[in-house]
Structure 1
């Protein structure tokens, strides 16, 4: 069943302490437009740089999932992203005045509450989902961790946790419906083993930690020296171990809270795929490292499938632009005008058509008795289609030319011969700036991709 993209109705603010920095952090959730995704904004830095939530930006997974773009980083992103996914939010601006969100109680609970306070609004665009049709898996041979996704009617997650310790034991957790995230998963807090906590303290990390935002499993005898460090770190006069093997001053929400938090992390990390999922994720001994590696693998698979998916257009409908309207925008003229119709045009994409006829002058010599359209002319036709997109941004296109600057990653996959109908689609890779346009372009014929390339052009006055 299809559903629409969603964002929040109004902005909402949270304040708290960063787990590793120990500094107060202000986080503001803001509404975002369609197809925006989840984007972090560092308002404490010059220019307020943006970091999109993409697996390709993952740089570190030791103590949470860290993202970095152009030297700007975001740490511990997973709890915020899990809250957004769990509530069905697809477009969200996350402003921060520090490198990490506030840790709050170590779960997604407070982020969920903030989003609900802001209100959720449906947007007038269908949400694109990646529907899993076969098993996709990733395994880390060294750790034995494995994660896979299998076909399912909706997005589901199951985690199996076994750290080989008597204290934690083997735990499982499942989320059958994402609508149950708030009640079943969002309150699950992060956890650590005592030996890991000692290492973090020795390296002067978790400055914002206390016994209320992390479950600490005691997997070894606590020495007097360690006890002294813990008292100092958590500003407590005394610390003890409860009967269930965790440090005191905290009551578990569920016996399997550790497995539920691992499930929360999986949801947050897989948000970095950038596409909503319809399938069941099964994770055995998950962690940020394998989660994000799997996210990268899935993102590449989805990207490849999108690239190879042949768009369908009803060629019997009247075109958006006919050849006469095209000539009002493009400076090209026969025999070098290589676009016959424009089918679609927006601020970010264009779709055009060329009917390939035996009357084309280049077939005389390319090749006698075996006519094949030259690859360079296919790219030229694709570029002319992109030129419509570029020139449509100026009020007087008749006074401008589009000059080719660069073509990259050009791949020819099929021959084009007389009688073929070429469909070209060009989409902006980045916004047009200073008259420079960078496009990802594809050419299709006979329900197959015949060419793909990244093209760059510049608008210049005649």
Structure 2
């Protein structure tokens, strides 16, 4: 699996009919910056609203997964998202001029081919994996659905389907290496049973469905009259039933193509968790409703795990660097010394502590009747803590200066007041190269995130001859 984030090298366009809406749409994949994720943009709607690919935005799971945000809706997103996950693309903006992505020929392969044609580009930041920390289980007794996620330092999926059908029987499909998605899974087409076609039509679905973009499984005896009706329904000269029970003699691409397509759907639906996953996924009889319910369960655990990663402060914990040792590392002096101790440091992150008291000099002029720590000084405290992390990466750190050269995505979420203890965590987002370090800084009071930002620092060797 890739360790760094990726986008595409250039825009690429696909066009076609949506399987359920029957609407023709043009869809353009655009490169996106780091940490952008997957987003659709309805360019045919006033204001061109953005729809984040997030499980919280799912509004319908009838024969496909539909997302909606701020009144803008995108139907049947799973095949597009599966292609992106399967190619390990992290950041892309998908502009679409209609309500539904084109079904193409019923799988993800045309999206995969288009994306591979323009190429995939590595970005600087590390991928923010959600590593399944423990067994996660989902069950629907009435439909005999079972899904589990188990810890694994990789992304693997195994799917079993059993439709109690003499045509399909029980099928299994597995994806043991995400790099095999394009060759083993992406071309597997969507399918339905013949007895479902009429019901889907009555539900105002599959308006764009035909034998070129879906497999229709015949699991009952069909007379010529029914075949003639189907031919008229799909505007074809004639319709036949193949020996293996597939309507109109459509040849399967794999003996277990339906199971592989169910796996494809699950890859796309689980993309809505919002982060690339590391874990073993095992699923029996999955469908969009179950996939989305399981994705919600994973996201809830992901958010819970993130809260568990809030650094804690034990006043009795021995400091890794105390105030005297910090003075040897940093050139800052009163009143701009804003780190009191370092409690933990590795090659990837550092945790520092800043005690905020009413005796701070800045309280004399910053809201003296309502003392609040200036946000810029919270950023400075994070910068100094991050500076120690950067200096810890070199031999003889006293021979270097650390200058912060960029601050992005800064948010102040809660006021910091006298009596608070700021616990600051700075974590590298990529390896330090050529003296440039990019890190995520977060400041907490208790378990509450008060400030966060992405910071870039430059490590410069001192000119001792100056």
Q: Which TM-score tier does this pair reach, normalised by the shorter chain?
A: 0.7 to 0.9
Paired with 2:100 and 2:4, the residues of 1 have a C-alpha distance of 30
SS in 2 for 1:348: strand
Paired with 1:201 and 1:89, the residues of 2 have a C-alpha distance of 35
- CA displacement, residues 151-175 of structure 1 (integer Å, 9 cap, x when unaligned): 2221000000011121111000000
User: Which residue among 410, 420, 432 is the counterpart of 1:349?
Assistant: 410
> Contact 2:6/2:123 (CA < 8 Å) preserved in 1?
yes
Paired with 1:18 and 1:330, the residues of 2 have a C-alpha distance of 62
User: Which residue among 314, 329, 332 is the counterpart of 2:367?
Assistant: 332
1:234 alignment counterpart = 234
1:381 alignment counterpart = 416
> Contact 2:412/2:450 (CA < 8 Å) preserved in 1?
no
Matches within 5 A, 1:102-141: 102-141=102-141
Matches within 5 A, 1:132-151: 132-151=132-151
2:34 alignment counterpart = 34
Paired with 2:331 and 2:221, the residues of 1 have a C-alpha distance of 76
1:219 alignment counterpart = 219
Relative distance call for 1:281 and 1:333 in structure 2 (3 A) is: same
Paired with 1:196 and 1:327, the residues of 2 have a C-alpha distance of 71
SS in 2 for 1:292: helix
Paired with 1:321 and 1:163, the residues of 2 have a C-alpha distance of 72
Return 5+ residue gaps in structure 2 as ranges.
314-319, 338-360, 384-406, 427-441, 453-466
Paired with 1:220 and 1:320, the residues of 2 have a C-alpha distance of 80
Paired with 2:411 and 2:205, the residues of 1 have a C-alpha distance of 50
Consecutive aligned runs of 4 or more in structure 1 exceeding 6 Å deviation: 312-315, 319-322
SS in 1 for 2:382: strand
> Contact 1:319/1:343 (CA < 8 Å) preserved in 2?
no
Answer yes or no: is 1:295 the counterpart of 2:356: no
SS in 2 for 1:279: strand
Paired with 1:247 and 1:330, the residues of 2 have a C-alpha distance of 79
Relative distance call for 1:200 and 1:334 in structure 2 (3 A) is: closer
| CA positional deviation for 1:224 | 4.9
> Contact 1:83/1:112 (CA < 8 Å) preserved in 2?
yes
> Contact 1:87/1:181 (CA < 8 Å) preserved in 2?
yes
| CA positional deviation for 1:3 | 0.6
> Contact 1:351/1:423 (CA < 8 Å) preserved in 2?
no
> Contact 2:242/2:250 (CA < 8 Å) preserved in 1?
no
> Contact 1:211/1:249 (CA < 8 Å) preserved in 2?
no
Return 5+ residue gaps in structure 1 as ranges.
353-378, 385-415, 427-440, 456-462
> Contact 1:351/1:425 (CA < 8 Å) preserved in 2?
no
SS in 2 for 1:381: coil
| CA positional deviation for 1:24 | 1.7
| CA positional deviation for 1:319 | 9.1
> Contact 2:363/2:371 (CA < 8 Å) preserved in 1?
no
- CA displacement, residues 56-89 of structure 1 (integer Å, 9 cap, x when unaligned): 0111111100111122111100000000000010
Paired with 1:110 and 1:424, the residues of 2 have a C-alpha distance of 46
Paired with 2:272 and 2:364, the residues of 1 have a C-alpha distance of 40
2:258 alignment counterpart = 258
